[in-house]
Chain A
């Protein structure tokens, strides 16, 4: 079977232990306003256009079968994401995000850094998007990696049917599980959907004894308060075990990609929380988890 991914990133060092390769799955059920991978959200291939790289050669215009592009200006209503324009773009101003691959294709790429995984205790992380939206494919990838002796992790926001977890549970060495907020209404406002299913899944996953690392993104105006952190603390305090936790600092590194997709960036005006604030949040959460690291 085939899945759709948009990137394979080598030397990832923040998505689990050691030196890792992260496979970015395309498609996500959530619509978090701060998302730093906006190209991950749609499950279909998309063309990104970086204006600064365009040399104005006009090659794309002629290459588009849907007549949806003129010198990089993409009519998104007509674009089918076929990637014809990106294929002829000499400067890579146009790039297609989203390609269909087999699990073996992923394995082949992931194998390249095996010596580094072995040395560093690293491995491969499936991320996204939401890797578990393609649960069956994710499971196949994980099993192949396992057979090859590569350690695995799944980075998930958790908003999928629990059956998706069951598909990967036996083959993932680690789950990186996001908790964005404890409050359902806030989750719905910031991410487009409530968090009941997410928290339910987290509880069930914990019951299985899975190896879990919690991840809390700190987002200005959304959850960057001591109360919000204490509320998250309440949720993780109610889990059947004490888990390690990473606090991920909000950043605007994805801003360019919004422009390249031609969509508005709703976190434009937000600023990353400073070190002191991050340390304060870590302190709030520390009583509820095995360790709290700031990444």
Chain B
């Protein structure tokens, strides 16, 4: 069913999309004045004070036609500036002179860099490990307890802090509650400023808009200070919190958790009370989608990774999807926005009508929702200490990282590890083939390796070394956050920070983990399989020949490269031995990570969320025995290497489901498949897609995202085949990689796609 966007929403969207974004310095200036005045006081108090001072002082605006208000910057669509984190990101930021002078040399980035070891710098330079979230930003990557903010209000939270402060002697705790109260007062004052502004604007507005503005004013007087009573108040409270979290810290992947769960009671009460129609509710949700889009920081790949989770289970295991879940899907279908990033939780008892609506949303080509398996994720989190009583309520953070709303700082993206690079180092005694510098330990001359076990031993040492470097980097960054990265506002909405009187950067949250992003597991697996089969078993080549060929990036060794590329034991083809190799290699870093504590009382976990990092990491990775040339992208998730799953999607998904998802990938992983519109809209196409997904989940797959691409995308793939190596299209009843087809066949597929799409 095609629905037309309300005019109000179209106008808000068009105005936003027309903005030529620049940097808004209002936050930076207010923060600087606040910091200058709070010199010498404990960090958590300074941070709470800064939140309050920013929210009281920065200019605010209300857009024509808005129903929900609030903005990070003082001008629509402009970037917000965070001088306390990093003066050099983005490059060339026109900082006011006094701001630059004040923060130069004392940003979180400066301090972290100062503490970083040479080993970390070396690994980061080649994107082998490191690049820790929190090294020049805040942690971000969390789901706070929005429900608490909506249903309790900040006045009550202030009351709790004051009560605890009254009877406490521990100065550290007193500091936390003091900072928290300042931050909470700030957000209340900020909302009241919007109420004042709305009232002022109502004076000159026409009757209809004046009524809306008075509603806005009344809403902002009420929330987030006091409990919300209607869906509109709840959504407004949500956005005051959500946006203020982005003002408090420079962090992305601040995610909503289970939006359809905590907002549904308000929706239902409004509908039943006759206060709201379904269309009225949809307009509010579309207004919310506009707010998510406004909150995009376009310095970070034009997204802020605001993930929004729908579906899944209730505590008793029954299905959680409701009318509000459907409305979220509808809003994404209608807007086509990439924010919020929708995630849908699957379980065996999911409502089939909801799941079909999920499939139909994917089929529009919007690339969402991403699909998550409750059964796997719940088990994976339990292994890392999350209680059964909390884990069922998980939501997705950022790309694919599961977190417990309001109880966990998972610091996913707590660093990265390129295991394809680890294989390169193992083949070259720790020396990078790109820089010629030693960045790993000496593990022996690979030309002399006489057995596969020796090769594996070298790989193990390199992978563990890089993981250790990463852990060191993450813990240095974590210590710097403890020093000056406090987030008292977020901490008020994360159990048990208020109770313990400890900020989340100090480990105040109930659950703490540090996720490490792994790159290139399939490249490492395929490369090791090629060595095992072609060198150590079939003896087609010696290790000396292989090492020479890799050094030469296969120049003069094309036949060997082709043998590596085409050897049949490749991950993603439902070949048990190849799949087992990837599991064997991943156990190395997953087990190692779990043994190491982080700075907040948690430990390290592993996940895969390359976003587009597989391209950059590939640039810094030498030739590998999987047949990949130096500099080519590495695999973009847990799938097969680009173009190497030659046995079709059922085989690919069986391989991916065979990964030790529970044991190795608690921090999430991602498997991408792309379909052309032709295949999805063929008779039975959506049912086939749904069946494919459901079986994948039943087999123990963790996550799946499906892109359904249109003719325009196929044309782009013809021009830029390198970007589309994983694009599967239907060729007369079977799947093939688009970029491997001849131009003529491609043209024919494009013409068919247009026919169907048109």
State whether A59 touches B733 (Cβ < 8 A).
Answer: no
Instruction: Provide the bound-state CA to CA distance between A11 and B682, in Å.
Output: 14
**Chain A residue at minimal CB-CB distance from B653:** A116
A101 within 8 Å of B (CB atoms):
no
Q: Which A residues touch B695, using CB under 8 A?
A: 115-116, 119
Query: In the complex, which residues of chain B have a beta carbon less than 8 angstroms from the beta carbon of A11?
Result: 648-650, 692, 734-735
| Contact between chains at B688 and A272 (CB < 8 Å) | no
B171: interface (CB < 8 Å): no
Residue interface mask A110-151, B partner, CB < 8 A = 1:
001101100110000000000000000000000000000000
Chain A residues whose C-beta falls within 8 Å of the C-beta of B699 in the assembled complex: 115
Pairwise interchain contact A253-B688, C-beta atoms closer than 8 A: no
Tell yes or no: A91 within 8 A of B by CB: yes
* Binary interface encoding of chain B residues 681-700 relative to chain A, with 1 for a CB under 8 A from any of its CBs, else 0: 01111011001101100110
Contact of A252 among B684, B698, B748 (CB under 8 A): B748
Instruction: Give complex CA distance A112, B579 in Å.
Output: 15
Give the residues in chain A near B647, CB-CB below 8 Å: 10
Given contacts A13-B684, A256-B745, contact A116 B691 (CB under 8 A): yes
A251 CB within 8 Å of chain B? yes
Which residues in window 545-565 of B have CB below 8 A to A? 558-563, 565
Which of B643-669 touch A at CB < 8 Å? 647-651, 654
CA distance A251 to B648 in the complex (A): 21
Q: Which of A112, A113, A255 contacts B744 (CB 8 A)?
A: A255
Is A251 a contact of B732 with CB atoms below 8 Å? yes
Task: State in angstroms the CA–CA spacing of A19 and B692 once bound together.
Answer: 8
Among A10, A11, A256, A295: residue with most chain B CB under 10 A: A11
Query: What are the residues of chain B within 8 A of A9 when measuring CB–CB?
Result: 648, 733-734
Does B574 lie within 8 Å of A12, measured CB to CB?
Answer: no
Q: How distant is B640 from chain A, measured CB to nearest CB, in Å? A: 14
Residue numbers in A under 8 Å from B574 (CB-CB): 112
Chain A residue with Cβ nearest B684: A13
Residues on the B chain within 8 Å of A197, using CB: none
B334 close to chain A: CB less than 8 A: no
Q: Does A66 contact B (CB under 8 A)?
A: no
A18-B688, A59-B559, A115-B699 known; A12-B651 Cβ under 8 A: no
A 9-50 binary contact with B (CB < 8 Å = 1; else 0)? 111111101110010000000000000100000000000000
Complex formed: what's the CA distance from A91 to B564 in Å? 9
Contact B559 A10 (CB under 8 A): no
With contact pairs A13-B688, A116-B691, A116-B692 given, residues A272 and B748 touching in the complex (Cβ less than 8 Å): yes
A22 to B650 alpha-carbon distance, docked (Å):
13
**Contact B682–A116 (Cβ < 8 Å):** no
The answer to whether the Cβ of B3 comes within 8 Å of any Cβ in the partner chain is no
**Chain B residues with Cβ under 8 A from A90's Cβ?**
558-563, 566
Q: Which of B736-753 contact A (CB under 8 A)?
A: 742, 744-745, 748, 751-752
Number of interface residues of B (CB under 8 A): 41
B646's closest neighbor in chain A, by CB?
A: A92
What residues of chain B lie closer than 8 Å to A269, measured between beta carbons?
none
Chain B neighbourhood of A10, CB < 8 A = 647-648, 650-651
With an 8 A cutoff between CB atoms, is B343 at the interface? no
Interface membership of B755, Cβ < 8 A: yes
* B679 at interface by CB-CB < 8 Å: yes
Contact check, A112 vs B654: say whether CB atoms are below 8 A apart. yes
A61-95 residues with Cβ-Cβ distance < 8 A to B are 90-92
**A295 x B683 contact (CB < 8 A):** yes
* Contact pattern, B 714-738, Cβ under 8 Å of A = 1, otherwise 0: 0000000000000000111111000
From A20, which residue of chain B is reached at the shortest CB distance?
Answer: B733
Among A19, A55, A293: residue with most chain B CB under 10 A: A19
Please, which residues of chain B bring their CB within 8 A of the CB of A294? 683
* A9-B736 Cα distance, complex, nearest whole Å: 11
Query: Contacts A19-B688, A116-B691: A14 and B745 contacting too (C-beta < 8 A)?
Result: no
* A196 close to chain B: CB less than 8 A: no
Given contacts A12-B734, A15-B733, contact A275 B755 (CB under 8 A): yes
CB nearest neighbor in A for B563? A90
Give the distance in Å from the alpha carbon of A10 to the alpha carbon of B679 in the complex: 15
Contacts of A274 in B (CB 8 A): 755
Interchain nearest-CB distance for A249 vs B (Å): 8
Inter-chain contact B687/A120, CB cutoff 8 Å: yes
Q: How far is the CA of A4 from the CA of B123 in the complex (A)?
A: 54
> Chain B residue with minimal CB distance to A112?
B574
User: Is A57 at the interface (CB under 8 A from chain B)?
Assistant: yes
Nearest chain-A residue to B647 (Cβ)?
A10
- Chain B at the A interface: SS class: helix
Contact in complex: B654, A14 (CB < 8 Å): no
Q: How many residues of A contact B (CB 8 A)?
A: 37
With known contacts A13-B682, A120-B687, A253-B748, A55–B562 Cβ distance under 8 A:
yes
| A contact face: mostly helix, strand, loop, or mixed | loop
> Which residues of the partner chain A approach B748 to less than 8 Å between Cβ atoms?
251-253, 272
Hey, which chain A residues are within 8 Å of B684, CB to CB?
Answer: 13, 17-18
Assembly CA distance A253 to B560 (angstroms)? 31
A120 to B566, CA, bound (A): 32
Contact B698 A253 (CB under 8 A): no
8 Å CB contacts to B: which residues of A236-295?
251-256, 272, 274-275, 293-295
Chain B contacts for A92, CB-based, 8 A: 562, 566
Q: Which chain A residues lie closer than 8 Å to B559 at the CB level?
A: 55, 57, 59, 90-91
User: A295, B682: Cβ atoms under 8 Å?
Assistant: yes
Query: If the complex has contacts A12-B733, A90-B560, are A113 and B650 also in contact, measured as CB distance less than 8 A?
Result: yes
Complex contacts, B692 vs chain A, CB 8 Å: 11, 19, 116
Given contacts A116-B650, A252-B744, contact A91 B688 (CB under 8 A): no
Asked whether A19 lies within 8 Å of B650 as measured between CB atoms, the reply is yes
A169 smallest CB distance to B (angstroms): 25
Q: Which residues of B contact A55 (CB under 8 A)?
A: 558-559, 562
Closest chain A CB from B191 CB (angstroms): 50
Please measure, in the bound complex, the distance between the C-alpha atom of A91 and the C-alpha atom of B560, giving whole angstroms: 9
Using Cβ atoms and an 8 Å threshold, which residues of chain A touch B731? 253
Instruction: Select from chain B the residue with minimum beta-carbon distance to A120.
Output: B691
- B10-42 interface with A by 8 A CB criterion: none
In the complex, what distance in Å separates the CA atom of A19 from the CA atom of B689? 9
CB distance from B594 to the nearest CB of A (A): 31
List, in ascending order, chain B residues with CB within 8 A of A112's CB.
Answer: 574, 650-651, 654
Name the A residues within 8 Å of B691 (CB-CB). Answer: 18-19, 116, 119-120
How far apart are the CA atoms of A16 and B511 in the complex, in Å?
50
CB-CB < 8 A to A91: which residues of B? 559, 562, 565-566
Closest beta carbon of chain B to A276's beta carbon, Å: 9
**Chain B, Cβ-Cβ closest to A36:** B732
| A217: min CB distance to chain B, Å | 11
A:180-229 near B, CB below 8 Å:
none
Which of B650, B651, B742, B751 has a CB less than 8 Å from the CB of A256?
A: B742
Q: Which residue of B lies closest to A249 (CB)?
A: B752
Nearest CB in chain A to that of B747: its residue: A252
Closest Cβ–Cβ distance, residue A127 to chain B (whole Å): 9
Q: How far is the CB of B741 from chain A (nearest CB, A)?
A: 8
CB-CB under 8 A for A13 and B733, given A19-B691, A116-B650, A255-B745:
yes
Docked pose: A91 CA to B566 CA in angstroms: 7
**Which of A10, A13, A272: most chain B Cβ within 10 A?**
A13
**Which residues of chain B come closer than 8 Å to A14, judged between CB atoms?**
682, 732-733
Contacts of A17 in B (CB 8 A): 684
Q: Which B residues are CB-close (under 8 A) to A116?
A: 650, 691-692, 695
| Closest 8 pairs (CB-CB, A-B) | A90-B562, A14-B733, A120-B691, A91-B562, A11-B648, A90-B559, A57-B559, A90-B563
Write the residues of chain A forming the contact surface with B, with a CB cutoff of 8 angstroms.
Answer: 9-15, 17-19, 22, 36, 52, 55, 57, 59, 90-92, 112-113, 115-116, 119-120, 251-256, 272, 274-275, 293-295
- Given contacts A10-B647, A119-B691, list 14 more A-B pairs with CB under 8 A: A10-B648, A11-B648, A11-B650, A12-B734, A13-B733, A14-B682, A90-B560, A113-B651, A120-B687, A251-B748, A252-B744, A252-B745, A252-B748, A255-B742
7 contacts between A and B (CB under 8 A): A13-B685, A19-B650, A55-B558, A252-B745, A252-B748, A255-B742, A275-B755
